Amino acid sequence: MADYLHSDLTGQIISAYYAVFYRLRHQRAGYNEDNLTQALAVELRARGLRVRTQVRVPRRYRGRRIGTDRVDLVVNETVPVEVKRVRSLTERHESQLRAYLLDGGWAVGLLVNFGSAQPQVRRLYEPTHDPTRQGAER
């Protein structure tokens, strides 16, 4: 099995997501994204992880700040997590998380969905911010 950057941490986050997904299986439809984000934050903290919610991500164009967005969670200051409650994840959702990775300086992020019948998780990797690749050709 390949060893990916932050695989231990992303594994813990995914495990917590599954726990919340199945624990709330009969209630998820009545919860909005913010409720689900908070439930996931509670689960992650119960597992001993540091979690910040609604973390500001500055948006830049040509080196100038043009605005700010917010990523739902950042775990251990290392992995941003974007929470969705949609029928199915799309490329648009991945693009949103990829922009957070690029603008926020993170190498790995997770996209999790509570709106589908089955769990959906996508792990995105941005090599530009991989600390193990510093000095390597890009």
User: Is 135 a domain residue?
Assistant: no
136 occurs within a structural domain: no
Does pLDDT of 63 surpass 90?
A: no
Helix axes 33-46, 7-23, angle to 10 degrees: 120
Please report whether residue 1 resides in a domain: no
* Phi then psi dihedrals of residue 124, to 5 deg: -110, 145
Is residue 25 assigned to a domain? yes
The pLDDT, as a whole number, for residue 90 is 95
pLDDT of residue 22: 95
CA-based nearest residue to 32, from 65, 75, 72: 72
Considering its fold, how many domains does the chain have in total? 1
Q: Specify the pairing of strand 108-113 against strand 64-75.
A: unpaired
CATH number at residue 41: 3.40.1350
The reported pLDDT for the residue numbered 98 is 95
Q: Give alpha helix (H) positions in the chain.
A: 7-23, 33-46, 91-104
Instruction: Tell whether 107 is covered by a domain.
Output: yes
Assigned domain for 41 exists: yes
A 10 A CB-CB count for 122 gives 15
Say yes or no to pLDDT of 2 above 70. Answer: no
The parent domain of residue 108 ranges over: 7-126
| 138 assigned to some structural domain | no
pLDDT tier for residue 28 given thresholds of 50, 70 and 90: confident
Query: Can you read off the two tokens belonging to residue 47?
Result: 């597992």
Within-domain flag for 131: no
pLDDT bracket for residue 49 (50, 70, 90): very high
What was the pLDDT predicted at 1?
44
Q: By the 8 A CB rule, do 115 and 86 touch?
A: yes
Task: Specify the pairing of strand 64-75 against strand 79-84.
Answer: antiparallel
